[in-house]
Structure 1
């Protein structure tokens, strides 16, 4: 089957158990055909039901699906003897010759193994969904009549796709590739200041496909994920809508939040090291504590592109009203570990009467980051947080030095 045989708007089924791999497949496909009608599911039984109810033009399914596996889905599709054969891309973590021999008689259009080669997958999708030289442009839907900014932001809160990217991911990955492959330490050094990348990799490392102790730091996430998977997830973020802000006013707000996150994270790292605490965990909590505000700014970019009016006052009011709620919703929906979410909450306030030393560190670090260059540390050194940590002006001065 060739692209010319497809309807004007193809219907595609993606069946993948891992939520982050599923999202990556969705983004790669929409980057090729932004107008595609997508059905996305996490188990083979649901995929089998959809295949009985609807007619598809392309299927991407993972062999290791729960319920009905991807190979069984492929077998069921081939038993229908559709002509021409329905394009079916089978994905799998199995790269042994026995598995390949088992799949080949069912004639998958492609057999791709994890971690996926993004360029290869993109080329396959282009061959199947586009005629040679063809591209598809999708207009941004206009706002519904009468839609207000608060109503728009409230609707988007539970489906926000996270923050804009601070780091040029393609350049970061390229600089991290060496003769021996992906250098994880180099990659961590390149991307650790980016809240979106940090949150996504930590969330992916805690997804259903990975077991063991909950991951709370970027370093642990990179070492738990397969290197190719980390690279794909990072590169996949660049495919998403509005990951680079275009409005100068929104960019200015994002720069302030990024800088506040980075400064507080660095102060937390230095304080934690000084006190012999988990400095990587403290760094992660601080780098993520403005994730909601940044995600909100990205949604404001959507509002602007859809034709909504936006000025500095509206941006400020939206951040005050929705920023914290966006952060809470994201951390819950992405299932960041409870211990990490509690530590992030400590950057804002200390509640109750018993505080962990890490909670005190991140709280003090964010207070330091909010000081202007003309404000001293004397008052902060006398604060309850500093007294509980038993750090004084001399220690804070050392932490604050460039």
Structure 2
């Protein structure tokens, strides 16, 4: 495809089995051409059906697709359109695989982990004329749209929380002569709920098997380092990942700080009681994910022309924050054990609860205390009594 025959609005097919890799490819492509008409599928048979129904200007397909694999798709495409741009993605970097694919003339053969800069450049070459850029205006709100109706619609499709960490700086700081230093990367991003949730979700996706991953260190070690880096950098490409409204930023700062304080207290309490401090930290750093995701959707509302003030923000958080968090944790398929631990933060009514659940519940109660409130009442609470933690222990946790 040359500059002469570039369509006004290109239609692109992405066929990728892993949901997080699929989302990453989508974000990279939309960052190049935000106006692209995009079809996304998770298996080769669906991709083959779409290819029979529509005419595409570019295809990105994973060789390892279930059903009809990407190489078979490429073979089928080449029988009909020899010049159609087709980027073949694969985890196979051996010479035999390359020799098998090259006779079918893929436009590019990219191996995982993907080089994001190389992929972006390829897409720019294929989808933009030289010197061209595409700007997409934010669509206005539909006439008569109310904020509750808008938030209800967005709950099941929202992209999660805004970023707390500058991901480009975090990755750059973690790159050394021998590649990505996972411990350095963990130190850079461990306070960010969005990054933590995405990496844990990705490490539990269909491409990874074994014991459920419930913490950021486990996720970083289960994912290929390059995949972790790409997922983190891909988050920066998403819409409204950095809040612009000062009022929303102020709310986000409070929720981030509450998450961080809770997580720090939970880790100290868990260590004191010889429990799994990493799980407790994860549950607390994630427990405000829904509220933060809601703030990001409120930024969309504001940019679409909706009115927004401090009272509206507070009422929206009260009405929708918990529901957004529950929807995200379910849709991203965070491990049930981690979701149950997060649920212990909000309620310990009925049932049998673990000592870790008591720890995270107590940690969040501690984080909610103002600097002028003492720990005496908290030390006498049911949670503290069940943990056999008194005022001296709570005082030591707060001062550590």
1:29-84 CA deviation, whole Å, 9 max, x = no partner? Answer: 0000000000000000000000000000000000000000000000000011445x
Alpha-carbon offset, residue 348 of structure 1: 1.1
Q: Deviations over 1:235-277 (max 9, x none)?
A: 0000000000000000000000000000000000000000000
Distance 2:57 2:80 in 1: 14
TM-score by length of 2: 0.99
- Residue 174 of structure 1 deviates from its aligned partner by 0.4
Which structure 2 segments of 5+ residues have no match? none
CA distance in 2: counterparts of 1:316 and 1:4, whole angstroms: 52
Indicate how the Cα distance of structure 1 residues 15 and 3 shifts in structure 2: closer, same or farther if over 3 A, else same: farther
**Structure 1 contact 267–400 (Cα < 8 Å) conserved:** yes
- Counterpart selection for 2:392 from 382, 391, 394: 394
How many residues are paired up?
A: 400
Task: Mark the CA change 1:399 to 1:3 in structure 2 (over 3 Å): closer, same or farther.
Answer: farther
The aligned residue for residue 290 of structure 1 is 288
The answer on whether the counterparts of 1:92 and 1:114 sit within 8 Å (CA) in structure 2 is yes
The 5 Å alignment of 1:1-400 reads 1-82=1-82, 86-400=84-398
CA deviation after TM superposition for structure 1 residue 354, in Å: 2.0
Within 2, Cα distance between the matches of 1:314 and 1:366? Answer: 25
Q: List alignment gaps of at least 5 residues for structure 1.
A: none
Change (3 A) 1:3 1:209: farther
Query: Contact (CA 8 Å) 1:4, 1:130: kept in 2 or not?
Result: no
Q: Deviations over 1:73-96 (max 9, x none)?
A: 00000011445xx00000000000
Distance of 1:224 and 1:357 partners within structure 2: 27
Q: Deviations over 1:378-400 (max 9, x none)?
A: 10001000010001111101111
What is the Cα deviation at residue 4 of structure 1?
A: 3.3
Deviating above 4 A after TM superposition, structure 1's stretches of 4 or more consecutive aligned residues are none
In 2, the alpha carbon distance for the partners of 1:380 and 1:57 equals: 63
State the Cα distance separating 1:2 from its structure 2 match.
Answer: 1.6
Distance 1:353 1:72, change over 3 A: closer
CA contact (8 A) 2:6 2:129 kept: no
400 and 3 in structure 1: CA distance in 2 versus 1, 3 angstrom threshold: farther
Cα shift readout 1:333-372 (whole Å, capped 9, x = no counterpart)? 0000000000001111112142200000000000000000
What is the distance in 1 between the residues matched to 2:254 and 2:131? 42
> Residues 152-189 of structure 1, C-alpha deviation per residue, up to 9 Å, x if partnerless?
00000000100000000000000000111100011001
Q: Look up the SS of the partner of 1:116 in the other structure.
A: coil
User: What's the C-alpha RMSD, in Å, of the aligned pairs?
Assistant: 0.7
TM-score (norm 1): 0.99
Distance 1:258 1:116 in 2: 31
* Alignment deviations for residues 167-218 of structure 1 (CA, whole Å, 9 cap, x no partner): 0000000000011110001100100000000000000000000000000000
Paired residue secondary structure (2:155)? helix
Partner Cα separation in structure 1 for residue 303 and residue 272 of structure 2: 46
